Amino acid sequence: MQGKKILVTGGTGYIGSHTIIELITQGYSVVCVDNCINSDKSSLMSIHQITGVSVPFFQVDLCDSYETKKIFTAHPDISGVIHFAALKAVGESVEKPILYFRNNLDALINVLDLSIQNGVKAFIFSSSCTVYGEVLKSPVDENTPLQAAESPYGRTKQIGEQIIEDSVKNEMTQSILLRYFNPAGAHPSGLLGESPINQPQNLVPVITETAIGKRDTMTVFGNDYETKDGSCIRDYIHVCDLARAHILALSYIFNGRQKVPVEIFNVGIGNGLTVLEVIKAFEKESGLRLKYKVGPRRPGDVVAIYSDHAKASKELGWYPQYNVNDIMRTAWAWEQKRQQR
């Protein structure tokens, strides 16, 4: 795919920045847009350090259709769009649903509309396992019926998927909806990882922030679930494995292998781990004892969800290369690096 130009929205964020590295490594040319509401431009410096490439960057709020259009005018040869840009804090979305609907849906509609108008061939969308809602059993495959979303954030992903399905039906743009499970970990170089502006609430950064002393202790949300050790089960996927799935999704469309307007793929490693197992993996990799206590269940938590990713393996040729130990090792290396800074 030498030279094809890809617009990455939300590209200074966690998954976007790791995906840009993978795109550059695979010979794509990249344009990045982000309004830096939950990231900063330092990730572009890390991308430069790792790849030697300075990525053209637009600091634009994608809800602003006028400013967004200028990106497509400046780069009329964009062949693919990977749309990461969104707000993602589940709890905040419950408190501020309008903010989430406005930001996540307005931005999607603007980028999608301009992609279709400008003849973009491939539109890849960051969806989430959250669209499955309270599942009755795992693993979940792409045919598992969606339940009501647990939060306005989750609803923006369900509605986002529907908007795309309706909009590309009769267009030359084809789309892939990637339903991520629990992304975690950092780039193996130690130069890039998760550094959100908002305080992270996800398990892995909470663990590393506790270990480094940014938090006094952490809470395991419940140990009375019907699981092997009583804590919830999730499917943690290394961010670099996830990044690779986007490149394979682009190739799938560019090589003419996609026969329908929209395809959906689960991207998780398919291995359910409990919260306590993740903590043990951290302790093994870091050699530290983590300060944690067991607290009550977190409202809205699903007992267990993990993926069946057979479709992504069969169609895209995607197989995870990292495990939970790699996730914890790279996440911990990144936390220590941030501390030095």
Q: Please report, as ranges, the residues that interact with ligand NAD according to CB under 6 A.
A: 10, 12-16, 34-39, 61-63, 84-88, 103, 107, 126, 128, 180, 183, 196, 202
Residue 130 binds ligand WQD, judged by CB under 6 A = yes
Question: Is 153 known to be catalytic?
Answer: yes
CB of 279 to ligand NAD, least distance (A): 18
Quote the least distance from Cβ 156 to ligand WQD, whole Å.
10
The DSSP code for 86 is -
> Least distance in Å: CB of 15 to ligand NAD?
4
How many CA within 13 A on the CB side of residue 247? 23
Tell me the window of 165-173, 214-222, 244-252, 324-332 that interacts with ligand WQD (CB under 6 A): 214-222
Q: At its nearest, how many Å lie between ligand WQD and the CB of residue 64?
A: 24
Contact with ligand WQD (CB under 6 A) among 12, 175, 202, 208: 202
Coil, strand, or helix at residue 81?
Answer: strand
Closest CB to ligand WQD among residues 259, 293? 293
Instruction: By CB under 6 A, name the one of 65, 189, 201, 323 that touches ligand WQD.
Output: 201
Q: Report the residue from 30, 135, 232, 328 that binds ligand WQD according to the rule CB under 6 A.
A: 232
Are 303 and 231 in contact by the 8 Å Cβ rule? The answer is no
Query: Toward ligand WQD, which CB reaches closer, 4 or 88?
Result: 88
Cβ atoms 171, 245 nearer than 8 A: no
Q: Which two tokens stand for residue 126?
A: 């960051």
Number of residues that bind ligand WQD (CB under 6 A): 18
Contact stretch for ligand WQD (CB under 6 A) within 43-51, 74-82, 160-168, 219-227: 219-227
Residue type, 193: G
220 vs 262 by CB, closer to ligand WQD: 220
Nearest partner of 44 among 35, 29, 57, judged by Cα: 57
Could you say which of ligand WQD, ligand NAD, none residue 86 binds, taking C-beta under 5 to 8 angstroms by partner kind?
Answer: ligand NAD
Name the active-site residue from 153, 225, 252, 322.
153
Instruction: Tell me the C-alpha distance between 117 and 253, whole Å.
Output: 18
Q: What single letter denotes the amino acid at residue 285?
A: E
Instruction: Quickly count: other Cβ atoms within 10 Å of residue 211's Cβ.
Output: 21
Choosing from 149, 203, 269, 273, the residue that interacts with ligand WQD (CB under 6 A) is 203
Instruction: State how beta strands 182-184 and 292-295 pair.
Output: unpaired
90 contacts ligand WQD (rule: CB under 6 A): yes
Instruction: Give, for 262, the enclosing helix (H) or strand (E).
Output: strand 262-267
Q: What own/partner pairs with CB < 8 Å and gap ≥ 24 does 283-290 have?
A: 284/325, 284/328, 285/325, 285/328, 285/329, 285/332, 286/211, 286/328, 286/332, 288/211, 290/207, 290/210, 290/211, 290/218
Q: What SS3 class is residue 95?
A: helix
Annotated catalytic residues are: 153
Positions that interact with ligand WQD (CB under 6 A): 88, 90, 128, 130, 182, 201-203, 206, 218-221, 232, 234, 275, 298, 301
